[in-house]
Chain A
Amino acid sequence: EAQVTQNPRYLITVTGKKLTVTCSQNMNHEYMSWYRQDPGLGLRQIYYSMNVEVTDKGDVPEGYKVSRKEKRNFPLILESPSPNQTSLYFCASSPLDRNSNQPQHFGDGTRLSIL
């Protein structure tokens, strides 16, 4: 089954304790992206990747890191989490095609609470 898998689904942690949210897709998609979703603010892009070893900042990258060492994986790293990073996070992937719409496929989300 084609899917984007995020782990963990839920995490409660404390300020300053490094954490990683993993994202893996089995559709051989070049493009992957991380979003955070907060009430009233919709989905805001954190980082994206066009292919292996190619990453770039989205609209709200502060406090986050990513890596893309393999095509299928795109982990989101919070080196020193703070309470304002409490949010619902989504990973998404799609084929890379500038000339037509490629729908993004989303993971089920990771709800992070930073105390």
Chain B
Amino acid sequence: GQSLEQPSEVTAVEGAIVQINCTYQTSGFYGLSWYQQHDGGAPTFLSYNGLDGLEETGRFSSFLSRSDSYGYLLLQELQMKDSASYFCAVRSDQTGANNLFFGTGTRLTVIP
């Protein structure tokens, strides 16, 4: 089978930096995606890593180490509106084609 592990909850202070880790177990790995979901809202795409290294998009960065089966999402200069759930998701031979297998999500709470 396949599995994803990410912390269930993280709390951080406004203006700080927070890192959300994700470890995965799968075969035929293609890449790791990150999605954000605000309460009552739809998941929205944040970033994707197909190769090792860091991808940066504004305040958000995502990192992947294929050899360690590990990735993380880094959020800088945290804002209150970043309070949301963050999901990592893998694409692999096991999921097939465009399918994603999602982790159970990390709820980020940003406090003043």
Q: Do they bind each other?
A: yes
Residues of A within 8 A of B (CB): 31, 33, 35, 40-45, 48, 50, 58-59, 90, 92, 94, 96-98, 100-109
Inter-chain contact A43/B97, CB cutoff 8 Å: no
Known: A41-B104, A101-B48. A31 touches B42 (CB 8 A): no
Inter-chain contact B97/A50, CB cutoff 8 Å: yes
Instruction: Select A106's contact among B31, B44, B91, B101, beta carbons within 8 Å.
Output: B44
* A59 / chain B contacts, CB cutoff of 8 Å: 101
* A41 / chain B contacts, CB cutoff of 8 Å: 104
Residues of B within 8 A of A (CB): 8, 31, 33, 41-45, 48, 50, 87, 89, 91, 97-105
Known: A42-B103, A43-B102, A102-B98. A107 touches B31 (CB 8 A): no
Known: A42-B104, A42-B105, A108-B41. A103 touches B48 (CB 8 A): yes
* B104 / chain A contacts, CB cutoff of 8 Å: 40-42
A104 and B100 alpha carbons, distance in the complex (Å): 9
Inter-chain contact B97/A101, CB cutoff 8 Å: no
Can you give 21 contacting A-B residue pairs, CB < 8 Å? A35-B102, A40-B104, A43-B87, A43-B102, A44-B102, A50-B98, A59-B101, A92-B43, A94-B98, A96-B97, A98-B98, A101-B48, A101-B91, A102-B98, A104-B98, A104-B100, A105-B45, A107-B42, A108-B41, A108-B42, A109-B42
* B8 / chain A contacts, CB cutoff of 8 Å: 40
A18 and B3 alpha carbons, distance in the complex (Å): 33
Known: A43-B43, A106-B42. A58 touches B99 (CB 8 A): yes
A40 and B106 alpha carbons, distance in the complex (Å): 10
**3 residue pairs, one from A and one from B, having the closest CB atoms:** A103-B45, A101-B48, A106-B42
* A97 / chain B contacts, CB cutoff of 8 Å: 98
Inter-chain contact B98/A31, CB cutoff 8 Å: yes
Inter-chain contact A103/B98, CB cutoff 8 Å: no
Known: A42-B104, A43-B43, A90-B42. A100 touches B50 (CB 8 A): yes
Inter-chain contact B97/A98, CB cutoff 8 Å: yes
Inter-chain contact A31/B97, CB cutoff 8 Å: yes
